[in-house]
Amino acid sequence: MTGLAALFGAVIGALLGLVGGGGGILAVPALVYGLGFPVSAAVPASLVVIGLTSAVAVAPRVRREVNWRLAAIVGAAGIPTALLGGVVNHRLDQDVLLVVFAAIMILAAVRMLRGTDETGGVCDLPDGGVAWRRCLPRAMATGLLVGFLTGLLGVGGGFLLVPALIIALGLRTPIAVATSLVIMVINSAAGLVPHLASGGLAAGMDWPVIAVFALAAFVVSLPAGRLARRVPAAVLRRGFAVLVLLVAAGVTTRSLTTLIA
């Protein structure tokens, strides 16, 4: 079990380091189908791992690549909806939740395969400031949506955040990746609150396995972050999208089989 946890954690850490997101969207299926966690435990466990690993992965980028003002705005906007998503999570059937999860995975993967055009300059001003009049509504909307998905599905939201920060807010890719990691830390912490309040962190949580999972993610995320600067973003994005589609197909098949049976 710990060997599998280390393997899955390494994959999650690599994704967070390489593309600034996507770890959470695979963490829940890994915990459920690979390690045998119930969904009710996999979601908060994923939030713990993704939140901590994002904090580690952003370390090499803190000084030059994080837009702290936008991270604060988007992260703060997502706090109330992350709380709401956590509450909704407790009211949905686990198999229905996994079908919703798979649908989000497919949408994200298709969007990545279509490509992400780097526009730059819409929000990220040359002097390091932010054009708030144009960007504040977009930043708030992005934070609200990603926050809800974080609380509901146990994902950090990086697979949505990075494209949103580039397309909707006009950040350049290195800034978007680093800023998304900070936002994911905020969203993951907020998404954990309903699970703490309901005792979800005590039910079905195998903490030694989670610790191995998290440690492997930490260890791999830092070198992956350095490697990301040498690999074309398009190659990383497309490879990750194909992986997400394959996992989504497996999750959909197993969940629908259970619902129909």
Cα–Cα nearest to 187, from 215, 230, 152, 239: 152
145-155 pLDDT tens trace: 888 887 887 76
Which residues are bridge partners to 124 per DSSP?
130
Q: What is the mean pLDDT of the chain?
A: 78
Which one has a higher pLDDT value, 10 or 26? 10
148-199 pLDDT tens trace: 887 887 766 666 777 777 777 777 777 887 888 888 888 888 888 887 777 6
Question: How many Å apart are CA 204 and CA 85, to the nearest integer?
Answer: 20
pLDDT at 21: 62
Q: How confident is the model at residue 83 (pLDDT cuts 50, 70, 90)?
A: confident
**Position 19 pLDDT exceeds 80:** no
Structure token digits, residue 129: 């400031």
| b/e sequence 74-91, b meaning 16+ C-beta within 10 Å | bbbbbbebbbbbbeebee
Report DSSP state, residue 102: H
Exposed/middle/buried for residue 137 (C-beta within 10 Å: 0-12, 13-18, 19+): exposed
Please state the domain extents for the chain.
2-260
Question: How many Å apart are CA 26 and CA 189, to the nearest integer?
Answer: 19
Cα–Cα nearest to 77, from 150, 178, 154, 176: 150
Q: How confident is the model at residue 248 (pLDDT cuts 50, 70, 90)?
A: confident
CB atoms within 10 A of CB 169: 26
Question: How many Å apart are CA 80 and CA 158, to the nearest integer?
Answer: 18
> What is the H or E stretch that residue 43 is in?
helix 39-57
Question: How many Å apart are CA 125 and CA 163, to the nearest integer?
Answer: 18
| Alpha-carbon distance values, 162 to 33, 166, 177, 198 (Å) | 27, 6, 6, 31
Question: How many Å apart are CA 72 and CA 63, to the nearest integer?
Answer: 16
Q: What is the pTM of this model?
A: 0.74
